[in-house]
A and B are shown apart, each in its own frame.
Chain A
């Protein structure tokens, strides 16, 4: 085929990724390792949404709902809320099943919809989940409403807790770095599974549906099943990210799963380059770090103008927005677009 199959990356890139948290901790401090960990969850989310939006071409504005479902699944199965303390290996498959069911539940009613209409319905779905999380308190208190669920068990495998520092081969392994490696493992697995799908019979079918659904169906593609599969798989990636998030943060509440978060993940996918995994990873990392990089704006203003002219949090959002606009104006196809996407924008 025209497309080269996945090749092993040069060893030094791999080493760089392994050493990254140490470098960041040394140069920028521990807080940035935490940001890095969250960024990896963003990557996981973006890779999941990319299956739905990038491969199958289904505009989904409610993707954060699956992140929420996964997070609450973990929270309910491993916290004092119901007195359950399941181990990770039991929560994970359960969460995968729950997320996949929600993916199909969202997909089913939207099968006949496309474009704008699909976006609106998925947006509604995202909001419904958030409203449910906020209100499932009576007659049985399931979600604990807006207060959320606290004291969630930390991520652990057997007796190895990712919330505590360890010593490995005599070297100290800070908790945040250990978590980084755990999340990295999930990200690499997600990338691998995504990549294999992209160049498979199924990936090709998704691409055909994205390009022309009527022609695809007329060639014998069961478009309903294929679209549901894309929703379910995307939801699974999102759900796993949610579970890791809950275990990492030890606390979940509905306000982590708002429309703005859905839009943010969509931005990561679009900005990075829909349909191209490298682009999606780049987009996710960029948008996860950008708000953090812009955080010390108050201090900079103080330094340059000797007073704070514009409220830093407002300015931060403003600069963030400007960055998005500039990027989309000059690179509408994304930072690292897929072949097809690049052609769409640059063939006349």
Chain B
């Protein structure tokens, strides 16, 4: 059974058809690329997927269950978590606190717990802290734990976002342009991190512009153009697809 199945997803804003009848599946522990020119609807699709937008049509099934539409926190708790194209760490919180927030949905202590601060609550808090430190080590930010998130470099903030998302214990991690604005070496590090996440049994859905970078990583690629699915296949198939080449380079040759 596929982990994620999006069938016939449509979404329009006023007169603009942002997504039209989009199909996409992600198998467990696989890496799927989602590419397409600017304005193709990739981020809109992410927003529909993660409950930020309610789709006008189509169904979303995750691990056999329908995904709750329009309720981001329930999507996250179901095991589908994302990062953002324009990084959204909690800027004034420490790096460690950022990751600790990711554990929220998996922990229980409430108001009375906070007030009485009994042994169970203290243990839970300690476990969250240790878990967060572990994840920071995993993405290579262990030295930065006490830093304020907004003072990290761009690349480090991207990795922090990933650590925070991993703290929710997802089954599918959706990354929105994880290497945008990064140089070659940083792209290499991100690719390595993505492969390690997959090796841990977590599936990934990755939006990316750079076809060559994504092609070396993933098993399947879906191409969006003008809100529609233009093509779907293995990286080799996609790179040879004349429609895809046309969408990216424009048709005809003008000298």
Chain B associates with chain A: yes
User: CB < 8 Å: which of B50, B75, B101, B148 contacts A204?
Assistant: B101
Pair B114/A200 contact, Cβ less than 8 Å = yes
Please indicate the chain A residues that have their CB under 8 angstroms from the CB of B125 in the complex: 200-201
Query: Which of B52, B93, B117, B124 gathers most chain A CB within 10 Å?
Result: B93
Interface size class of A (residues with CB under 8 A): 20 to 34
- Asked if A277 is at the interface of the complex by the 8 Å CB criterion, the answer is no
- Asked if A212 is at the interface of the complex by the 8 Å CB criterion, the answer is yes
Q: Which one, B5-13, B34-42, B77-85, B242-250, is touching chain A?
A: B77-85
- Asked if B164 is at the interface of the complex by the 8 Å CB criterion, the answer is yes
Pair A221/B92 contact, Cβ less than 8 Å = no
User: CB < 8 Å: which of A2, A201, A347 contacts B104?
Assistant: A201
Q: Which one, B23-31, B105-113, B219-227, is touching chain A?
A: B105-113
Pair A211/B73 contact, Cβ less than 8 Å = no
Pair B129/A1 contact, Cβ less than 8 Å = yes
Chain B at the A interface: mostly helix, strand, loop or mixed?
helix
Please report the C-alpha to C-alpha distance between residue A75 and residue B249 in the assembled complex, in whole angstroms: 76
Please report the C-alpha to C-alpha distance between residue A340 and residue B146 in the assembled complex, in whole angstroms: 13
Please report the C-alpha to C-alpha distance between residue A220 and residue B121 in the assembled complex, in whole angstroms: 20
Pair B102/A219 contact, Cβ less than 8 Å = yes
- The interface bits of chain A over 150-174 (1 if a CB of B lies within 8 angstroms of the residue's CB, else 0) are 0000000000000000000000000
- The interface bits of chain A over 200-232 (1 if a CB of B lies within 8 angstroms of the residue's CB, else 0) are 111111011001101111111111000001000
- Asked if B72 is at the interface of the complex by the 8 Å CB criterion, the answer is yes
- Asked if A197 is at the interface of the complex by the 8 Å CB criterion, the answer is yes
- Asked if B20 is at the interface of the complex by the 8 Å CB criterion, the answer is no
- The interface bits of chain B over 148-183 (1 if a CB of A lies within 8 angstroms of the residue's CB, else 0) are 101100000000000011011000000000000000
Please report the C-alpha to C-alpha distance between residue A347 and residue B92 in the assembled complex, in whole angstroms: 10
State the interface size on chain B (CB cutoff 8 A).
46
- Asked if A196 is at the interface of the complex by the 8 Å CB criterion, the answer is yes
Pair B104/A211 contact, Cβ less than 8 Å = no
User: Closest approach, in angstroms, between the C-beta of B175 and any C-beta of chain A?
Assistant: 13
Please indicate the chain B residues that have their CB under 8 angstroms from the CB of A207 in the complex: 90, 93, 97
- Asked if B94 is at the interface of the complex by the 8 Å CB criterion, the answer is yes
Please indicate the chain A residues that have their CB under 8 angstroms from the CB of B146 in the complex: 2
- Asked if B76 is at the interface of the complex by the 8 Å CB criterion, the answer is yes
Selected A-B contacts with CB under 8 Å, 28 pairs: A2-B97, A193-B115, A197-B115, A200-B121, A201-B107, A201-B114, A201-B125, A202-B111, A203-B114, A208-B93, A208-B101, A208-B104, A211-B90, A212-B88, A212-B90, A216-B101, A218-B72, A219-B73, A219-B101, A219-B104, A219-B168, A220-B81, A220-B102, A221-B104, A229-B111, A340-B93, A341-B92, A344-B92
Q: A200-B109, A215-B88 are in contact. List 17 more A-B contacts (CB 8 A).
A: A1-B97, A200-B114, A201-B109, A204-B93, A207-B90, A208-B101, A211-B91, A211-B93, A212-B91, A214-B72, A216-B101, A220-B102, A221-B101, A222-B73, A343-B148, A344-B92, A347-B148
| B interface residues, Cβ below 8 angstroms from A | 50, 52, 72-73, 75-77, 81-82, 84, 88-94, 96-97, 100-102, 104-107, 109-111, 113-115, 117, 121, 124-125, 128-129, 146, 148, 150-151, 164-165, 167-168
- The 5 A-B pairs with the shortest beta carbon distances in the complex, nearest first, are A220-B105, A200-B114, A220-B76, A340-B92, A215-B88
| A interface residues, Cβ below 8 angstroms from B | 1-2, 193, 196-197, 200-205, 207-208, 211-212, 214-223, 229, 233, 339-341, 343-344, 347
